[in-house]
Amino acid sequence: MAMSPLENGNNIEQSVASLVRAYFPNYEDFYSKYLIPLTGQPKDPNWRHDTYPELEKIGISAFGILKSINYVSIKKSKINVSGDPEQTFKNIYFHFGLAIDCVETLARSIILVEAELNIIDFNKKLRLKPEKLCADFQKWIKKSYYKKYEKMVKFGKPIFYYPQHDYNFISLIVENKQVISNFSKLTKSIKDYRNFFTHNPGVDVFKDLATNELLAIKKEMVNESANWASLIEHYNNHKNHFINPKEMVTKDLILLLGELNNIWIFVCNHLEKIYTHKDFNQLFKGFQRKT
């Protein structure tokens, strides 16, 4: 088998090469066929100075995904009990969230480059009319407001309403509703879990002293526990709601890489449109940032 193109890269790229090849192979084509030619790196040491800003962001976001994958894959084997000064388990899910954020940023940059080339009019596709915004807000009030109000009173959690999310740009990249749906469901569960730890600093991995087993509450059960005391009480009553943290991280990592692999088919298709566009060379080759 030929070497992964990542194995000739920097230390992060080399570190994740085997993991990417196993579960995210479409990144390899993206990396060698589009990312390097589009940004001019690593051959050009000044690529970040002379690369069109949105192309640069594609490169930075793509590398950010690998950095977070590397962090997760290394740290998952070093999860410790609560009191870990590095808060390893929490940081792992923080990095899961960072990887997802990088995907959203990358999708936005691709759309902006396509808009520059007049391939797409994203305003026409994304901008919501006032009537739609008002109708969606009314639906949110009926479906979610009262539950969120109760949580605010009970737990002190603020109420947020987001009329439009970053992942709208991903919907313009991925022309397959099932792929979008699968990715959205997984990323929402990961982000909600990350937020659970972020907003409940007392919650962490803990050890069952009777079995000496490390445990974390499952993602789908986080609403049952809002703090450390309720977490332990909940464990005493519902042990099946908990899981070995390394097992859960491994499962989520493989699932995320698989979903990213599906999305990268469409990412590569869009970059092919950019790279082969008749105006690409004129607009982007030789770009020099104003100082």
Q: State residue 288's pLDDT score.
A: 67
Furthest CA-CA distance within the chain: 68
The pTM of this model reads 0.85
CA–CA dist 262, 266 (Å, integer): 8
Question: Minimal CA–CA distance to 35: which of 19, 58, 51, 67?
Answer: 58
Phi, psi torsion values for 24, nearest 5 degrees = -140, 50
pLDDT level of residue 37 (50, 70, 90 thresholds): confident
pLDDT of 1 above 60 = no
pLDDT of 60 above 60 = yes
pLDDT level of residue 260 (50, 70, 90 thresholds): very high
pLDDT of 291 above 60 = no
Q: Each residue of 180-223: pLDDT tens digit?
A: 999 999 999 999 899 888 877 677 888 888 888 888 888 888 87
Q: State residue 203's pLDDT score.
A: 77
Q: State residue 86's pLDDT score.
A: 65
**How many residues appear in the chain?**
291
Indicate the domain borders of the chain.
Answer: 5-128+164-281
Q: Each residue of 103-157: pLDDT tens digit?
A: 999 999 999 999 999 999 988 888 888 998 899 999 999 999 999 899 889 877 7
HSE-up of residue 135 (Cα within 13 Å, Cβ side): 5
pLDDT of 167 above 70 = no
CA–CA dist 111, 114 (Å, integer): 5
Cβ pair 44, 285 in contact under 8 A: no
